[in-house]
Structure 1
Amino acid sequence: MSVSSKLDKLHQAFSEKCLERTGKFPVIEHDTAWPSPCEHGEVDEQGLIQWRAVAQQPAGSLDDLASALELRFPEGLNALFGHLYAGNVLLNINDHHIELLQAWNEDDFSRLQQNITGHVLMKRKLKQPETVFIGLTEQDDLLITVLVENGQVCLEYVGKKPHHVLANSISEFLDMVTV
């Protein structure tokens, strides 16, 4: 199954779990200056809006960024960030509560690319293996990253080398996470 298909299933399971627990789809604080095609319904009395993942049309691509950085991003990275517009997804893997990053809208996809650029340049300056962050953990300084050289999904402290491999690929990582 493709990374895009796995991501679709993951978002479906996350939405269903939120709906089951709260009677609502996933919610996020509404910002009129930061609209998204994935917003669903009306803003509630707490200023929250429900969201549901929607396909990016056309699909987003990190190919130009990879070319500019003179890199070849691992398989699945384009789909992970360029397939859907959605809020971040709360997941679990190996006793870690994580937040899988997603692009909220077209501007967020552009901002994500700028952040990836800054992260890769920092890794080069530190003479560390190049990585791309894809998620956050319950610890502020512990990231989920993908090693550019081989596609492994790892845990990495900010400013440090990856120290623990979670999965051998993005596809395998998506198979391992639970909602």
Structure 2
Amino acid sequence: MEIHRLESLTQFTQRYVALWQQRYGHAPASHELSGLASPCIVENRDECVLWLPQPFLPAATLKQVETAFDIVLRPEGHAFYTQQYAGDMPAQFAGQDLTLLQVWSQQDFIRLQQNLIGHLVTQKARKLSPTLFLATVPAETAVISLCNISGNVLLEQLGSTQRQLLSPSLADFLLVLQPICPD
């Protein structure tokens, strides 16, 4: 299976890193990821880690999710989670605060795949169309997700049919997404 790069993810990540460097003079920092191994780590400081995105090596896909669930996932879904190692990135979309989820390490990738399978199993049990979560939002009962059928990016109320269209595509969503960092 050939997976294409998601150039808009690279561009968003570059904007995110540039914002951190402009505001704080260093790479993005995370307290939550401190102590967890990753190819992204550029420096450990006190109780936080500074990181920069790194290529996802060795190359991978979400094939195990497809196999476990007997589903074909959209190419942009594969690319989103297997293009780079990076920390999760806070952002805003049309005034909505969110945290864009990323893969921190190979071990994190295994956990992510298990969580995606669990998400898809729950959706199937509730007879909902399949989605891949992309970001969390402050409301714990909702996520931003990629519809595996249409390719739309949605604000999805978990366990419900309630879904709000945010963007017609993941690439478009990432292009207008605004990075934020703490004050």
Q: TM-score, normalised by structure 2?
A: 0.89
Matching of residues 27-176 of structure 1 within 5 Å:
27-29=29-31, 30-32=33-35, 34-41=36-43, 43-45=44-46, 47-176=47-176
Distance 1:116 1:143, change over 3 A: same
Deviation (angstroms), 1:162: 4.3
What letter is aligned with 1:14? Y
Q: Which whole-Å CA distance do the structure 2 matches of 1:119 and 1:54 have between them? A: 27
What letter is aligned with 1:13? R
Extract unaligned runs of 5+ from structure 2: none
- Work out whether residues 88 and 99 of structure 1, in 8 Å CA contact, stay in contact via their aligned partners in 2: yes
Larger deviation, residues 157-166 vs 14-23 = 157-166
Q: Which whole-Å CA distance do the structure 2 matches of 1:93 and 1:57 have between them? A: 29
**Cα deviation per residue 1:18-68 (whole Å; 9 max; x = unaligned)?**
111122211112543x20000012x223x1110000001122211232133
Q: Which whole-Å CA distance do the structure 2 matches of 1:70 and 1:161 have between them? A: 22
The answer to whether structure 1 residue 13 and structure 2 residue 12 are counterparts is: no
Deviation (angstroms), 1:5: 2.1
Extract unaligned runs of 5+ from structure 1: none
Distance 1:91 1:161, change over 3 A: same
- Work out whether residues 12 and 175 of structure 2, in 8 Å CA contact, stay in contact via their aligned partners in 1: no
Q: Which whole-Å CA distance do the structure 1 matches of 2:176 and 2:65 have between them? A: 28
Q: Which whole-Å CA distance do the structure 2 matches of 1:111 and 1:104 have between them? A: 11
**Cα deviation per residue 1:87-111 (whole Å; 9 max; x = unaligned)?**
0111111110111100000010110
Q: Which whole-Å CA distance do the structure 2 matches of 1:79 and 1:11 have between them? A: 14
1:23 aligns with one of 22, 25, 46: 25
What letter is aligned with 1:88? D
Q: Which whole-Å CA distance do the structure 1 matches of 2:89 and 2:168 have between them? A: 21
Q: TM-score, normalised by structure 1?
A: 0.91
Matched position secondary structure for 2:113: helix
With a CA cutoff of 8 Å and minimum separation of 6, indicate the structure with the bigger relative contact order.
2
- Work out whether residues 153 and 166 of structure 1, in 8 Å CA contact, stay in contact via their aligned partners in 2: yes
Q: Which whole-Å CA distance do the structure 1 matches of 2:60 and 2:156 have between them? A: 26
Q: Which whole-Å CA distance do the structure 2 matches of 1:126 and 1:10 have between them? A: 34
